[in-house]
Amino acid sequence: MKTLLPSKRKRLTVKEANLLLQKLETFAEDTGKKDTIRLTIMEDKDILFRDDCVVGEGHSRNLLLVVQHTFTTLHKRTDSVECQELLASIQQALEAPDILEGPKKREKKTKEKRSRKPSVNAPKRSFSLPTFSVRSTQGIILGVLLLVFLGIGGFWVSSFSKQDVQSKPTYEQLLKEEKYAEAAVTFPDKREDIEQYLVKKQAFQELKTFNAQFPTDEGTFDLAFYQKEWEKVIQTEGSELNTDRKVMLAYAYIQLDQLEEAEILNKTLKSNQLATELKKAWTKKAIRSIRKEAFSEAESINKRLKSEEIKELIETGKTCQEMIALYREKKDSENEKLWKQRLTQLGEELYYENE
């Protein structure tokens, strides 16, 4: 594409600039490569328009398309006064007949016009659009700066190659290249998104490294959860508890056998998965209570569960308790030990079914 560019600082008429854009667009389409040109329209020293546009997508085929595309993309409209005036000026220059003049005559004419004061001082309208960079398919931008001068005698275009300009890497590219720290520095407002990206990717080692460099309450919470540090999960302060994190918090409470807290959270969450996990947890807790001869606690839990299996285990547990007391009174240590063992193994199958 460099071979299509004019020599450094060469001035072109707007028609020549238009032709250059057509050649660049055709070359990009034929080769399948996309590169970027920078277009700056100026009146005297005032910048009227500036934008970086991609060559190879069809909207850089001429100056009118470039201006229309920029206003449509950035402002969602092309009916503004500034846009219409600029388009009209470009169209007028494109339609103007070519006038061949010798160098001396043009120089003389220019000097005369510069020395002559206009009878009416028209207000100068100017606007500057934010520039943006688009990465080429090869990862490097071929920069071409087109300076369009709107002055006495028409438009002029000056161009020069900028081979050393490196484009700013995109957020998506940095994630793809696993440059998470660089992405966080370049796009600081995306740090929580990066953290969530690592969570969804289940890249927990990278998440640990990232959270050490750019700590957040949310990152600390998520990392603790996936490392099964349940105490740390419930103690993390300031984290934004969206629905997903509330479920995670409830699950952490279940793992810590703080089932009442998990029940409170699930009143609003209404999660079927949490309800299933809670039922399993309550069942195991009831069995542990029976094995410890805490039958009142087991009965209280079963009011919630309404489980016939737990009810039967409670009755069996009470029988074991009576047998243990009997053999203790008889000082029959062998049978006492046997019934204690039976009690500690009570409900074993049901317990492991709920793991």
pLDDT given at position 26: 82
Question: Mean pLDDT: which of 74-78, 139-143, 145-149, 204-208 is highest?
Answer: 204-208
- Report, as an integer, the average pLDDT of 296-317: 97
The residue ranges of every structural domain in the chain are 2-98+124-162, 271-355
Q: How far apart are CA 250 and CA 229, in angstroms?
A: 14
Q: What is the pLDDT of residue 11?
A: 60
DSSP alpha helices (H): ranges in 187-258?
A: 191-201, 204-213, 217-226, 230-235, 243-255
Quote the pLDDT of residue 252: 97
Neighbours of 162 (CB within 10 A): 12
Residue 91: name the closest of 159, 40, 39, 150 by CA. 150
Asked if residues 194 and 216 have their Cβ atoms less than 8 Å apart, the reply is no
- The pLDDT mean for the chain works out to 78
**pLDDT at site 169:** 87
Region 268-272: what's the mean pLDDT?
A: 95
In sequence order, the 6+-apart residues with CB closer than 8 A to the CB of 164 are none
Mean pLDDT (whole number) for 81-107: 67
pLDDT value of position 47: 65
**Which has more pLDDT, 242 or 27?**
242
* Greater model confidence, 164 or 286: 286
The mean pLDDT value for 291-297 works out to: 97
Q: What is the pLDDT of residues 325-336, one digit of tens each?
A: 999 999 999 999
Encode pLDDT of 34-49 as tens digits. Answer: 777 776 666 666 666 7
Contacts 24+ apart (CB under 8 A), 235-239: none
| Strand 46-55 relative to strand 10-13, pairing | unpaired
Ranges 184-188, 254-258, 302-306: which has the least confidence: 184-188
What does the radius of gyration of the chain's CA atoms come to, in whole angstroms?
A: 38
pLDDT bracket for residue 294 (50, 70, 90): very high
Phi–psi pair at 38, nearest 5 degrees: -110, 125
Averaged pLDDT, 318-329 = 97
Task: List b or e across 39-67, with b for residues whose CB sees 16 or more CB atoms inside 10 angstroms.
Answer: bbbbbeeeebbbbbbbbbeebbbbbebbb
pLDDT tens digits, one per residue of 156-165: 444 433 443 4
Q: How far is residue 69's CA from residue 60's CA, in Å, rounded to a whole number?
A: 8
